[in-house]
Amino acid sequence: MATLLPTRLSLSTAIISIVLLFLPLSPATTGEDSGFVKRIDRRLLGLKKEKLSHFRFYWHDIVAGSNVTSVTVVQPPSNTSATAFGLINMIDNPLTLGPELGTSDLVGRAQGLYGSASQQDLGLLMVMNFAFMVGKYNGSSITVLGRNAVFSKVREMAVIGGSGLFRFARGFVQARTHKVDLSTGNAVVEYNVYVLHY
């Protein structure tokens, strides 16, 4: 009596044949472009050899006084939260070479926002661009995103991109509190930025 079920070998052969039949249709395997994407030579964008740069500057968060650079745009929904959970501040903070705002050279501005994102501790979600204003980096920016556990000695956040001389940037930043004025809430934070870019 002849069996009606395919043998194991013929079933495997059928599956491989089907896979091989559709494999040439994939743009990724043929190297062909599809309708909305195509491969280009990175030199067309001026991208040469990737390098690692280290930037060090001070971030000034001024929430009180005559020249406020950080304003609350969303109040926490509950005034009973010890961490101000839900608070969002928009920032345009000066970046300087040294910790003193009045005497240090301004190199750029941190523009973006931070929000209180933790109910257990003071953990901020930081979303900001370091927009540089001097030298060869004038007009270029580095984009940072991450968690800032404010009371930790060193906080690390990701560099997720950039513009100008920082196209395709990636890396990380380390933030260390330099000074906090407890009466006003104003803070100075040292940032060390390690960024891979072209």
3-state helix, strand, coil in the chain (%, to 5): 15, 45, 40
Range 108-131 average pLDDT: 96
Contact 184, 153 (CB under 8 A): no
pLDDT of amino acid 167: 94
- Residue 14 — pLDDT band, cuts 50, 70, 90? low
Cβ neighbours for 62, distance < 8 A, ≥ 6 positions apart: 68, 69, 70, 93, 186
What pLDDT is attached to residue 137?
97
Which residue, among 157, 112, 115, has the nearest Cα to 131 in the 3D structure?
112
Query: What would the two tokens of residue 96 be?
Result: 């300087």
Q: With a threshold of 0.75, does the pTM exceed it?
A: yes
State the first-to-last Cα distance of the chain, in angstroms, to the nearest integer: 71
Q: Which of 146, 190, 196 minimizes the C-alpha distance to 171?
A: 196
Average pLDDT, the chain: 88
% residues pLDDT > 70 (the chain): 83
Instruction: Assess whether pLDDT exceeds 70 at residue 192.
Output: yes
What distance in Å separates the CA atoms of residue 154 and residue 76, rounded to the nearest whole number?
26
The two structure tokens encoding residue 93: 């903070």
